[in-house]
Structure 1
Amino acid sequence: MVQFKRTIRDFADIAALIAEETATTSNSFTAAFATNLDGFRMGRDESAISTDMPDDTQAQRAVELIIATIFDVLRDTRLEPAAERLAWGVVHSFHRVSDQWAGIADKAAREVQDLLKSVDGSEIHAVELEAAHDALTIFDEATDALACMRDHAALAYAAEAGRPWSAPKATLVSSKRTQAVIEGSDYLAARRQRRIGQHHPEGPLVVFSGGSQWSDPKPIWKALTEMKAVRPTMVLLTTAQSKGADAVAEAWAARTKTPLVKLGIDRARWGNRAGFVRNDQIARLQPVDGIVAEGSGIQAQLVRVLRSVGVQPLLLSLYGGAADWAA
């Protein structure tokens, strides 16, 4: 199985790539680890201790070290093929814990809302409201910090593995992210509810789809870069295949910090028709442009669907010949 890998020749290349990608990340860590509270006391009574947020620089370096060490220790050994899977799991652990703390923050927000609805002017209620508000601030700040660590772990993974980290059926957004990865179902739900925000980023929607056999990233990156030059605020929608052309396009989105929507197929619901149903969903999203790399009949049908709604997608040929495979 051929997978796209960014060319990284040695440790210096890895260090240079991480340095390049993290040139602005330090500011993100500083913002994510900032606090609006003087301190937080853990424990009760005399055993309570005052705590603060971790040092942002130490947190950033620790995340890099965790991911890089896995690859460094296993490189050039018979366990090297396992490094990418192990590192993927570490990033996924950051993601799961970040998601769990986001749920705790949501619960704290509901408690504040409930207290605001029952204001009675009493001192007891005022104390309860202040405590609930502090708890919400604590969990909000912690969620931002954990999401920032997850984002940076994913960035370190991409630098080492040569392709972006992504979790199955997951939307990766936080208040500190510069690039959003939106699960297609979340994007469709946000659109139905007419909500614009983290799950429905603003910008012209550009569709990308391609076959799983692609291994040469150059024509895809060239086409996407030229598209972004014309539509600098574009949102990229891929058909969410884990390898081949879609994986190359997602790597480009991560590199260029382009918001990404991954709209996969629901085979459990639609069976063999799932790919065609998904193509119809794409058309209803009113994309402004598209790039389709040669693949299966699903890609050919997507070209026809896009043309039926007035979009003339750029066609990329797998073998570099005339791009008329969808005619």
Structure 2
Amino acid sequence: MTQFTSFEALSAFYREQIEAPGFDAAFAEQGNLAQLSIHDEPMATDMPDPQSARAAMEMIIGTVFDIFRATRMEEFARDIVWGIVNSFHVTAQRIEKREDDAGKKLGDLARSFDPSEIYAVELEETQRISQTLMDCREAMEAMRDYAGEIYRVETGRPFSTIKGSRVSSGLTASQIDARDFLAARSAQRREEHAPTGPVVIFSGGTDWHDHELLWQALDETHGRIPNMILATTAQHKGCDQIAHAWAAARGVKTVRFTLNRALGKRAGFIRNEQLLNLKPVHALVCEGSGIQSNLLTRVREANVPYHAFAIRHQRVAA
């Protein structure tokens, strides 16, 4: 990517590459008064202007990439920007925890109705706090997701957290940690953590260069299964990274099954078992290690339709 001569040109480039249909809605105000805690007074404050927020993400993230572009420090821009995007993610998680606490308190109040004025005031206050925190979380997630999309456009890789899930109200593809996904399924928690839909599993080795071959196969699968959830083996390079980039570009929810290192040499095989327990409707397996060979064997034994790719199937790198 060439260096841009003005912020306007950089902003225009990003807006051509990134669709953000839900961005403005994330900044909608649900009440006339806002309150973030019982220690604060209700205030008639506004949410940030969504277009200003979008422009700020473009300026903050784009400027870092543009400063280092075509210099000997270019490779470090990705690390710096990842930290910026992750700061929005961490802040959104903290808001969500406070929102959950307020929601629990609201539920307790609803179950212990009291006709007194004190009860009515506390109920109204808790509702206002819960709503304000939800508004703030949705806006913070929208900024995180838009900044993450700029990161993807610049690097070709989706923004991924070190651990845990990155969920939102749907601006971009959610990336869900397997532990959150399985726990949410058991407890019937929020849809963001336990999305419904047919599961397609994906796994492959780290030594892979032909991304077009995998994107074509994933596009074909997505065409047949438009509401698919992609479950991957969560490696940060090679086939899985290509699949994560595809999912981010197509808005497909991704569940990442990382290795449980405490299980030692059995970790990869137990992960394969977890993937098959999801009752996948399709599998894409690329040649890698014995882990991928084991997964392909299990897929065949379970009569799951699949695509299998050997390293020799790759086209010669340019």
Structure 1 residues 35 and 313, CA, compared in 2 at 3 Å: closer, same or farther?
Answer: same
Identity of aligned residues (%): 40
Structure 1 residues 236 and 16, CA, compared in 2 at 3 Å: closer, same or farther?
Answer: farther
2:277 aligns to what? 284
Unaligned runs of 5+ in 2: none
Deviations 1:250-287 (A, max 9, x none): 1000111111111111012x101100111111111111
Is 2:14 the partner of 1:18?
yes
Q: Moved runs in structure 1, 4+ residues, more than 6 A?
A: 41-44
SS at match of 1:40: coil
Name the aligned partner's letter for residue 63 of structure 1. Answer: M
SS at match of 1:163: coil
Structure 1 residues 286 and 16, CA, compared in 2 at 3 Å: closer, same or farther?
Answer: farther
* Cα distance in structure 2, aligned partners of 1:303 and 1:10: 44
1:54 aligns to what? 48
2:144 aligns to what? 150
Q: Map residues 1-327 of structure 1 onto 2, 5 A cutoff.
A: 8=1, 11=4, 18-23=14-19, 25=20, 27-40=21-34, 50-193=44-187, 197-268=191-262, 270-320=263-313
* Cα distance in structure 1, aligned partners of 2:241 and 2:223: 21
Name the aligned partner's letter for residue 199 of structure 2. Answer: L
What is the root-mean-square deviation of aligned Cα atoms in Å?
A: 2.6
* Cα distance in structure 1, aligned partners of 2:252 and 2:234: 15
SS at match of 2:284: strand
Measure how far apart 1:11 and its partner are: 4.7
Structure 1 residues 40 and 281, CA, compared in 2 at 3 Å: closer, same or farther?
Answer: closer
* Cα distance in structure 2, aligned partners of 1:86 and 1:168: 15
SS at match of 1:169: coil
Measure how far apart 1:76 and its partner are: 2.1
Unaligned runs of 5+ in 1: 1-7, 323-327
* Cα distance in structure 1, aligned partners of 2:136 and 2:167: 15
* Cα distance in structure 2, aligned partners of 1:280 and 1:43: 45
Name the aligned partner's letter for residue 227 of structure 1. Answer: T
Structure 1 residues 210 and 144, CA, compared in 2 at 3 Å: closer, same or farther?
Answer: same
TM (norm. structure 2) is 0.90
Aligned length: 311
Measure how far apart 1:178 and its partner are: 4.4
Preserved CA contact (<8 Å) 1:208 1:292: yes
Measure how far apart 1:39 and its partner are: 3.6
SS at match of 1:254: helix
SS at match of 2:22: helix
Name the aligned partner's letter for residue 16 of structure 2. Answer: E
Measure how far apart 1:170 and its partner are: 2.0
TM (norm. structure 1) is 0.88
